[in-house]
Chains A and B, each alone.
Chain A
């Protein structure tokens, strides 16, 4: 029965208080997403619920699938016809989707995946975590496949990145993942939506399966039995990834002037690190911060430049994991300065004072 009490959808330009998961879902709808397939999982379920409630209102398709495996393949089917489609899950669910992600990347089908990370391994727990960094940036699918990974750190970015994700996905015909965590999914913050995309105005995909009417048939596939044909296809994919690395790498830097200790963090921990940086500055400790916005492509060059051109003597990588992004930091810095790590692995969040203590220890030894 129609719910007469449904509050109106969020108007453009209005500052509203929203939960991260819901802001992301709303942004996806505003970005023209017209197909959502998902399976409930904490702490990502609100995205599915929001879509269940609103997708039909926008003339789209919502379906709760029987598994994450089915969800990602429903996304394949829908996105393969040129419709903006997405799914959302959390760590164990993303593992189940890996197979489909590889097929999406291989068949070059654009779509949005959301991983609201929880702590692992296995079922682990439902607390926030950043322990899927390797999976997202290295091994999300088998084969030499890659997925663009966007790492928001606040609710406004949860929303903005949803728009960016669909644009990137279609520009490069590749799956794009938003790598959030339980905190970003669950907490509320003010957010403003600045634009709305009418899917009817999007250019028609010239590769999508829509019925071979008045044109040659189209096949969306990843199977190439001829090794030469497969190699040619894979080289094209790799060329695409190189282009993405050149053109789509994003990052932000904070207070680099005179900084001798550099904090490197993304997502929720970047906010903790930022707070720690402020506390350090109150105590006259020269601390700056570097935050990747894209986990893949990782801003190697930008970070290297910061270290080379600044006066960075020590780097502290802060993560909610046993240390994953730190490997990318090492690859970027190439031994130019010592790199330390601070992390939690059980789902507890670092306190700014913990980070500050770690910075202090570094400053003493630096």
Chain B
């Protein structure tokens, strides 16, 4: 992507104005060496020269392609320059209010656990107005992927100070440079989220040169991979250039990220851990996890549940009429049946009366199935 001397070559203007290369007729006859990913619309973006968004969009599109998940992906666009991401990626999209993308993604993922859901948010969106939403989405370990693009400034509104603006950095609303005494300190979102048990995978990357782009791509792919595996909340933080609002040439902006920004926001994996097990992360239709995961208990199939170790029939109840299994706590604590869990066949008690009467109306046929319980006869 870069010339051998590390400089960024200017594209041929004629090429930019033309139709996207992949659709150019000349390429239909030539052997295809490289082409746009399927998830990429192949239209020119509206971003300023030297902006990082186009590149980051492309990495997301590549990952969706490589994992073969474009057709079941639903994106959520945050408010900012990249709100128009839905024009560039060929996936379903929702556009939520400023900062609320993680809440919207939560709604989508919860009702459609089989879909792949990601948000694409800037630092104004995610680290300022949307802090509550991102913190709680991470705390709940929503099984979503967050692409967080940090360019230390509000881009779309014209370069105002963001929560991520560095100390001393000049912006529209910190013209003398950000002063910690006046405006406080920048927020390191990834480090902050790392304190939450629910956050599973957090990595900070940049797109300043090809090696970093490769690392960034691996991070994006991994974040989506984790979602497919049901591991929970993942976030990839991009340090991205904003030459327009930084008042820099594109190459200087890249250099500034390498030399200054990434010293305050160090690159690398911030957190990568196995998740605390959460019921909603299991990719099953709602009806299945409704039965299998209740109130912190998971239904485990065992083969000898109807007899104890001496071969005597056990009185272990089977909530919801499931056979040959038992409820185990997802915390690893033992499940101790209480009086309430005695099956209806036991001596009448006020509780079992109620339960029994309720069953009489038919709908709970599964509940009333005596199979799996001791034979009374």
Contact = CB atoms under 8 A, between A and B. Distances in A.
A218 B93 CA distance: 6
A135 interface: no
A51 to B, nearest CB: 13
B111 interface: yes
Nearest to B95: A221
A8 B364 contact: yes
Interface string B177-215: 000000000000000000000000000000000000000
A63 B103 CA distance: 11
Interface string B86-101: 1000111111110010
Interface in A39-85: 56-57, 59-61, 63, 65-67, 69-71, 73-81, 83, 85
Contacts of A227: none
Contact of A2 (B76, B140, B327, B354): B327
Nearest to B296: A1
Contacts of A8: 358-359, 361, 363-364
Interface in A174-232: 209-214, 217-223
Given A8-B361, A103-B96, A77 B107 contact: yes
A37 B136 CA distance: 14
B92 A218 contact: yes
A103 B72 CA distance: 24
B74 A210 contact: yes
A63 B110 contact: yes
B294 A222 contact: no
B108 A213 contact: no
A3 interface: yes
B340 interface: yes
Given A56-B290, A212-B91, A77 B295 contact: no
Interface in B83-132: 83, 86, 90-97, 100, 103-112, 115, 132
A75 B295 CA distance: 23
B100 A69 contact: yes
A53 B17 CA distance: 58
A217 B136 contact: no
A255 interface: no
B319 interface: yes
Contact of A78 (B91, B111, B359): B111
Interface residues of A, number: 52
A218 B95 CA distance: 11
B110 A213 contact: no
B44 interface: no
B322 to A, nearest CB: 10
A11 interface: yes
A210 B320 CA distance: 31
Nearest to A221: B95
Contact of B351 (A5, A100, A218): A5
A5 B86 CA distance: 49
Contacts of B317: 4
Interface in B332-377: 335, 338, 340-341, 351-352, 354-355, 358-359, 361, 363-364
A59 B293 CA distance: 12
Interface string B15-53: 000000000000000000000000000000000000000
B107 A78 contact: yes
Contacts of A2: 294-295, 297, 319-320, 327, 341
A219 B74 CA distance: 9
A152 to B, nearest CB: 26
Nearest to A65: B103
Contacts of A67: 132
A219 B112 CA distance: 17
Interface in A100-127: 100, 103, 107
Contacts, number: 182
Given A1-B297, A2-B320, A223 B95 contact: yes
B354 A217 contact: no
B287 interface: yes
Contact of A212 (B90, B287, B294, B295): B90
Contact of B76 (A77, A79, A218): A77
B97 to A, nearest CB: 5
B108 A59 contact: no
A63 B104 CA distance: 12
A34 interface: yes
B354 A5 contact: yes
Contact of B111 (A11, A34, A69, A213): A34
A191 to B, nearest CB: 18
B290 A59 contact: yes
A87 B169 CA distance: 42
Contacts of B86: 217, 219, 221
Contact of B294 (A1, A35, A83): A1
A99 interface: yes
B133 interface: yes
B133 A73 contact: yes
B286 interface: yes
A81 B74 contact: yes
Given A61-B111, A219-B86, 16 more contacts: A1-B341, A34-B286, A56-B290, A59-B285, A59-B287, A70-B103, A74-B104, A75-B107, A77-B107, A100-B100, A209-B92, A211-B71, A212-B73, A221-B94, A221-B95, A222-B95
Interface of B: 70-74, 76-77, 83, 86, 90-97, 100, 103-112, 115, 132-133, 135-136, 140, 285-287, 290, 294-297, 317, 319-320, 327, 335, 338, 340-341, 351-352, 354-355, 358-359, 361, 363-364
Interface of A: 1-8, 11, 34-35, 37, 56-57, 59-61, 63, 65-67, 69-71, 73-81, 83, 85, 99-100, 103, 107, 209-214, 217-223
14 contacts: A4-B340, A7-B354, A35-B110, A70-B103, A70-B136, A73-B96, A75-B107, A76-B103, A211-B92, A211-B115, A212-B70, A212-B92, A223-B83, A223-B95
